[in-house]
Each structure stands twice: as C-alpha cells, then as structure tokens.
Structure 1
Amino acid sequence: MKLFPENDYSIELNNNSSLAISELENQTLSKEQFVTNWNNQAFIGKIETNEFEVKLSKKLVGEVCVLKGKLESEKGTLKVRTSRIFKIIFVAIVLFALSGIVTAIIQNKLEMIFHLVMTILVMRFIFLEFGFRIISKSGINKLTEIIGIKELKKTLHNNV
C-alpha cells in the first residue's frame, strides 16, 4: 500500500485528441493567471498540445488531487494523484504527532501515545484516502463530461 493514493487509467475518447484538448482548454484557467472567481471554469492547470495537468477549480476541494493526462488520437492515459500541498500538510501533521509521541515517552505519559497514533491513522485513512476517492471521482466525472471519455479502465501498478 502506498502512503499517498494515486490511480492510473487508460481512456478511450469519443472524439480525437485535438478536439478533446481544445474543449479542455475552454474549461480551464491557466495556472499563471490570478483570478478572484475561480468557479467560472471547471479546472485550473496547464494544457499543452497533447498533455494536460489540471485540478478542480473549487478552492479547497480542488487542491486535493491532480489529474495528469496524455492523449493520442482517440486513446490516452490519465493519472490521478494526491497534490503536493496535501502531501506536505500530511507530512507536517505526522511529524507533529511523532514529536508528541517522543515527548510522551520522555515524560512517561504512555496513554498519549495511543491518541497520537490514532490521529495519524485517522488522517491517513479517513481524510486522505476517502477524501481523495470522493474528489478524484468528481474530477474524473467533470473531465469525462468535458473531453468526452467513452471508456475509462483502471490500470494496475507494477511495484517491483
């Protein structure tokens, strides 16, 4: 099991990739733009000729996962991963909890260790895993609607 959730998909498009990329460009704000109302577009990100890296434009929700894809003719790949900012926040919380565990051991307050370990587990499995699943599904649904994904197949990781 990985520390941070991510999913890989192979996709099949209804149309060709150039039409899908142009539709995605119409619904995506550039990363470099500073906009006060992000909700006018579906995504924020970077789009190139046949590749894209976008996140949902919802302020807090959109930061959870990043959708990165590559399209060629009517097929492509899509990788959904946890964003860097949520990885940093999670690591900071884990380090804070670990320092609390060390402090509890030094002060001989062993009942605090259970609470701190439970904090780490709840953050990982409840907030990070379930939050990622819900928000990535929302992002994939929005992407499917915009670029016209006909078929979405989850690919397996080869961890060797």
Structure 2
Amino acid sequence: MKLFPTSNYNFTIIGEPSESLDRLKRRTEISESLVSKKTNKSFVGKITNNTFKIISSEIGKGAFCVLNGEIINKNGVVDIEINKAFKILLSFFLCFPAIGIIVQLCTEKIKFSPIFVLVAILQVLLIRFVFIELAFRNLSKKSLNRLSDVLDIESFEKN
C-alpha cells in the first residue's frame, strides 16, 4: 500500500512534438519552485529539452499535483504525484489519530478501550482512501485535461 497515490499515463501527440513543446513553454510560467502564482499562463514549472515538471497555475489547488513528463517523438509519458509540501501537510493529518490514542492513554479520565484503536485505524483509512484519494483524482484529472489542451494530446493510456 502506497501512502500517497500516483498515476502514470502514456499519451500520443497529434502534431509535431517540437510545436507542442513550444506551446507548452509559451503557456508555462518558468519557475524553479513549484508554487502557485497569479499568472495568465496555464502552468508553473520548468521545461528542459523534452522533459517537464509543472503544476497547474490555479491558485490554491493547482499546486496539489505535480506533473513530471517526457515527450519522445509523438509519444510521451506523464507521472502525476502529490506535491512535496502537500505530502508533509497530509502526513500530519494522518498522524492525528495516533496522537489521539497517545493522549487518551496519558489522560486517565476515561478508561482506555480497545475500540479506540479500531476507531483510529478507521480514521487513518478514511483520510487516506477517501479524502486524499478523491482530492488527488479530481485535481489530477483537471491538471491532465489542461495539459491535454496545451499539448494537443490525441489519447491517454493509464499504466
């Protein structure tokens, strides 16, 4: 089980790869840090030769997913993962149920019950497989659609 979800896609470009990369360069605010900025461009990130590492330029939720990709001839591959800053933040949320059990053990106002351990495990699973998974699916789909518009992608195939 992975702690954070990722997605890998293969894609095919309709036109010439050099034209698609030029269009991506024009629509990307070049930046070494993957932080959302107020810009009129579609993406923020860096593009070198035929590889790119970008985020959507939507303020707030655009930085959640990082798109790492490479274009070779008319084919390409893109890996989508959660941004490092969000991984750290989400790790804290995943630790809260364990912290709750520790606090419960330290304060003996209420007798400790084994049901608390079950509840904590269910909370971790709920956070990971419902909240994080739904946010990742929704935001990665939006970023992928935006990339598809910029690069004129013919088809996607999930690995």
Structure 1 length-normalised TM: 0.85
Q: Spell out the pairing of 1:9-28 with structure 2 (5 A cutoff).
A: 9-28=9-28
SS of residue in 2 equivalent to 1:3: coil
Q: What is the aligned-residue identity percentage?
A: 29
Find the partner of 1:145 among 139, 144, 149: 149
Identify the residue that residue 92 of structure 2 maps to in structure 1.
92
* Secondary structure, aligned partner of 2:123: helix
**Runs of at least 5 residues in structure 2 that lack an aligned partner in the other structure:** none
Aligned-pair Cα RMSD in Å: 2.2
Q: Where do residues 59-98 of structure 1 align in structure 2 (5 Å cutoff)?
A: 59-98=59-98
Cα distance per residue 1:2-52 (max 9 Å; x no partner): 22111111111012221111111111112248x996241111111111000
Please give the alpha-carbon distance, in whole angstroms, between the structure 2 residues aligned to 1:49 and 1:18. Answer: 10
In the alignment, structure 1 segments of 5+ residues that lack a partner are: 156-160
1:97 shift after superposition: 2.5
Shift of 1:60: 1.6
Query: How many Å separate the matches in 2 of 1:96 and 1:36?
Result: 27
User: Aligned partners of 1:39 and 1:73: how far apart in 2?
Assistant: 30
8 Å Cα contact 2:29/2:39 also seen in 1 = no
1:158 corresponds to: none
